[in-house]
Structures are given as structure tokens and as C-alpha cells.
Structure 1
Amino acid sequence: MAPACLLGVCSLLCAWSVVVGHPCSLNRQGWADCNGKNLLHAPSSLPSNITGLDLSFNSLVVPQHGTFLRRFPSLHSLNLSNNALLALSPGIFSNLGALLLLDLSSCSITYLHKDTFKGLGNLHTLLLRNNSLQELEVPFILPLKALFHLDLQHNALVSVDTWSLQLMEAVPQVQLEGNPWVCNCSMYPLQQWLQRRQAVQVTCASPPRLQGQKVVALDSKDLGCLVRQRLPREDSTAWPDTVTSSNTTTPPVGKGGKSWPYLVGFIVAAIGISILIALAAKCKLFHKNFASYRHRLLPETSSTGGSPMEHSSNWDRDSSSRGVCDSHSIPGAADLQAEDDDGFIEDNYIQTSEQLPEEEERELRLSI
């Protein structure tokens, strides 16, 4: 009897310790339900291998730096809805790489850092409805490679830029209903995106004349954009097609992107022509100098005052060097010599070098 009583007391103590240790309920699938327990932190006594955790309707305090729920790396589902989280620091869920579902609904979130969901490469479903997001930080979707469902209903979004739409194109299911969309000409890219997705429940909140109307049912004039008007072919030369907008003006597209090859070709051609002109001028100057060198005058011996023998020897060398040329260049040399035999020779053809030897011979005779 005593062992049975002792066993019962031990069982009660163990059960009491479990209840006192954490107020959450556990099921056989590894799901911990801590809903509405007024918790500030996740109970430390919970098993670290749980796969699901519901911490909704509490007063959780999330760290400003570092990771959250680092003791539960095996979580597949995490519900943090209806907690006043306001802002989430970068990489706060980076230790939950196995997470498939994350519920952040009704958490009064006003801003999402681009690295808030860093490390959640396997996340399948992200619920962000009923928050206060006024704009989307474009790259926050980039780490979510496996994202299939994104819920952004009932936030404060008034428009979405084109880059965000391109990133959300990879997400099969996106819900944007209940946001105060401003339906003007900047809404046109979102309208085209919604038409491709067949999201007919997105409605306008302003301006008042379009309030409550479905975005996909509006035309360009309703949004304040002018439609491209294509005129008949015979009038197309006088009135070209234009696209104008009430907010923006599209500048004409230039054609200067392909002009650089022509510029390079022109520069190369100019340089080549300059080089050819320089070579031609240089060759012409060279020929001119060479011709002047061959036809220069013989030096005057009478003015220089040099020795007669010296000049006569120079004359003989020049004559011997030009002997061949003179024989070819002066036709009928024998005839000229025959004509000179008449004994009449003009004085101006007698060179000074020929007069000097005769004067020396005459002086020699007189001295003897």
C-alpha cells in the first residue's frame, strides 16, 4: 500500500512541476499551444524539438538585436499574431531555417527591414494582414526563395512600385485587398498586374469619384492617363503617334547610341591622311635638297685666295667624277672640239686655274 501511495504522490508532483513550468499545452504532433497566456517570452521549459508553436494574443518582447526563439530550431509553424511587435530587427528569424509558415497578422508592424526574413529560405506562407505597412521595402522578398502565399490585406498601402511588382511576380498567391489604394495614373502598372492575376477584389479608396470601384475594371481615362491614339496611315506623317500623361512626359528616344563607330572611323581616317600628307611633303623636300646638291656651283678660286695647284687638283677630281655623266649628257663632244680649233676662244671661258700656270711659266723664263 505504501509503495502505491508513494507512486501517486510522485506523479502528482511531476504533473504539478510541468504545469508550473509552462502553461502551454502539448499534443502528440509536437505542437505547443501558448495562446492568450499573457507571456513575455516563450516558456523555457518547452521541449526544444517541437515543430509548431502558437504564441498569439500575448505580450511578447522581441529582441532588438540577435535572433528570436533560438531554442527551437525545428519549428515548421510559428504563430505570433496579435502581439505588439511594431518593428522587427534584421535577421531575427535567421535561426529558424526549417520554418514553413509564419503568421505576423495584427502585430501593428509599420516597417519591414530588407533583411527581416533573412535565413527563411524554406518559408512557404507569410501572413502580414491587418498591420500598418505604408510601403514595401523592395528587397524584403528576396530571401524568400520558396514563398508561395503572401497575405498583405488590410494594411496602409496606397501604391506599389514597379520593382516590387516584378519581385512579387514570382509569388503564385498574393492578396492585396483592403488597402487604401489611390487610383491615379501611377496605378496603371498595378492594374495590369492585377488583371494578369485575375485579382478582381482590389478596390479603390480614393479619389472619391472612384471609391469602391474595382481596380481591374477601370480604364486609362478613369486613372487620368491619355490613351495612345493611332491615326490613319495617310495622316501619320503630319501627326505622329504620341503618348502623354497627366503626371509625366516621355522624352523622345535618341539614336546616338550607335554613332561611336562612325566617330572612331572618322578619326582613324583623318590620322591616316595626315600621315600620308606628311610623308609626301618629306619626300618632296628630300628630292629638292638632293637636286640642289648635285647642281651646286663650283667655288670661285680668285676670291678665296687659295693656291692654284690646289684648285686645279680639285677641278681634275670633279671632272673625273663627272666624266661618265658628261659623256652622256653633252652630245657631240668631238664636234664641239673641232669647232674650237679655229683659234678664237672667248676670254670669259678661260678659267683662272688655266691662266695661273702660264703666268708662272712666263715668270720662270724671265728669271732665267
Structure 2
Amino acid sequence: NQNIMGHVKGGLATFLCFWGMVAGRDVLTVGPCDVRIKEMSFNCSQRGLKEVPAEIWINVTMLDLSQNQLNLTNPKHLAALHRFQEVFQLNLSGNYLPLLEEDTLGTFPSLQVLDLSTCQLTDIKPATFQGFPKLKTLLLGNNKIRDLLPKTQDKTLEADHTPSWPYLLGVLGTILAIALFIVMLVKCKLFQQYLDSYRHSLLSEVDTTSQCDPASLGHGFSGHNMDSRAPGFEDRSELDDDDGFIEDNYIQASERERAQREREEEERESDLEDDI
């Protein structure tokens, strides 16, 4: 009987779709839902539904069952949803679904957008969405989820951060290499300047030392007595003293001779006066 009813409903849906296209009508009313034929979209929102309407076509692509009184923990309601294998947009927000497990919603191979907002969700078990291979958008707003897909979050974080590490390491290595290169250039330049200045100062010191070294002279004077002076220095001082002595003696002798001549002249003058 169920198979017969399914075929009858499928045939009726096909007939209504064909009739709507022929009549040129874009929106039809099928059971409690509004149907857009071109999009194969069923709008069953805010109808006070307590179960999934049997009038919904199995080839529906967009199904809106939001803001109803569906208890999605009931296996009967979930089985009714499993009929729609071609749906790619499913809105179940505003119904009751406190827990999501791996087999709760079953398999939807074409589903891309799933809205589970305001479903009183408190927990989502791992591998819940493995039956949705094409799922791109998941809406979970206004729920009380304690731990949101820990394994999925870990994988997402790993996927986000893993590619960035090599990039960061590469940038850091490049910056360090450039900084090291600049430091080496500066150090080489400073070292070269230091060598040049050191050579210049070394040559100046050598020239000064070759001309006169007061330290060595002082050391020589302090380390030896007057008796240990160089012979040349000693002879020179003695000669200077001798020259001074000779000169003094020479001056004294000439003064004596002049005084003697003056006395002799005075004696002659006195003799002449006596003769006169």
C-alpha cells in the first residue's frame, strides 16, 4: 500500500507540475505549502506543522519547513525528510532538534545549504555531517551548543595555520638574512677604517720613536748614575767647561798686561817731569 501511495503521489506531483507549466502559473499551492514550479521550491514556513507534509514532491530542490512544531527527534519525521534526495537547500530552523548525531539526518547527497537555527541544539557529535558531501553553508545561530564540532574545528584550524607557517618562516629567514648582510657590510667598513687608522697611528709612533724617545732617555737617566753616562756626552760637557776656563784665564791675563802698561806709561811721564 505504501508503494502504491508513493507512486500515486509521484504521479500527482508530476501532473501538477506539468499543469502549472501549461497554465503559465509560477506559484501553486500544494497542501499547506506554496510551490514555485520553475525552482521546484516548497515554502512551508509558519504553517503550524507537526509533521512533514506528504504532499511535498520528492524531486523538490528547495524546502523551507522553518518556524513549525516539528519534533525532529521523531524517527517518523526524519524518515519523511529522507525522501527528498534531490534537495540542495533545506531550512529546518525554529523546530525541535536538541542533539545531532551521525545518523540523525541521514544522507543528503545534493544538500549544499542547511539551516538549523533556533532548534534548541545543545550538542553536535563528530561525523554528523558525513552524509552531506556537498554541504557548503551550515547555519547554527541562536542555539545553546556547548562544544561546537571540536574535531571539525581542529581540522579547520590546522588547515588555516599549516600553510601560513612556511610563509612566515620564509619571511623571517629573508629578514634575518638581509639584516645579517647589512651588519656584515657595516662591520667590514668599520674594520677597514680601524685598520687604516691603526696603520697610520703605528707609522707616526715609529717615526717619533726613531727621532726622540723621552721615555728611554728618562729610563737611562734613572737606571744609571752619572758615572755610567755615554763617553761622548761626558767629553762634551768637560770640553765646554775647559773652554770656559781658558776664556776666563785669557781675559784675566790681558787685563793684567793692560794695567802693567798703564803703570809703565805713568812712570815714564813722571820721569819726564822730573827731568824737566
TM-score band by shorter chain is 0.3 to 0.5
Instruction: Work out which of the two has the higher radius of gyration on C-alpha atoms and give 1 or 2.
Output: 2
Question: TM-score normalised to the size of structure 2?
Answer: 0.43
Question: TM-score normalised to the size of structure 1?
Answer: 0.33
Higher relative contact order (CA 8 A, sep 6+): 2
